[in-house]
Amino acid sequence: MEQSKIDRINELARLAKCRELTPEEAAERQKLREEYVAAVRRNLEQALENTYIDDGRGNLRKLRRREKGDK
């Protein structure tokens, strides 16, 4: 995500503390927040794709995605 968009999220947060946001500002803030969360999730998924677990015997295995119901 571009730094300018993060700066805008922060600017809208500061404005919200001082006064009520207009409907347009609130909608913009919500859209930017959703975009930010999506970017964080993408980055996390990429990091996890490159994560390996050492079993203690020197064997590395790729971290796998859990299925629903796995524990």
Residue type present at position 68: K
Give all domains of the chain, ordered by start, each with its CATH number: 3-62 (1.10.287)
Q: Which phi and psi angles does 52 have, rounded to 5°?
A: -120, 150
Question: In degrees, to the nearest 5, what angle opens at C-alpha 44 toward C-alphas 40 and 61?
Answer: 175
pLDDT of residue 70: 67
Mean pLDDT of the chain: 91
3-state per-residue secondary structure call for the chain:
CCHHHHHHHHHHHHHHHHCCCCHHHHHHHHHHHHHHHHHHHHHHHHHHHCCEEECCCCCEEECCCCCCCCC
pTM over cut 0.75: no
- The 10s digit of each residue's pLDDT in 10-41 is 999 999 999 999 999 999 999 999 999 999 99
Give 71's pLDDT tier (boundaries 50, 70, 90): low
pLDDT of residue 6: 95
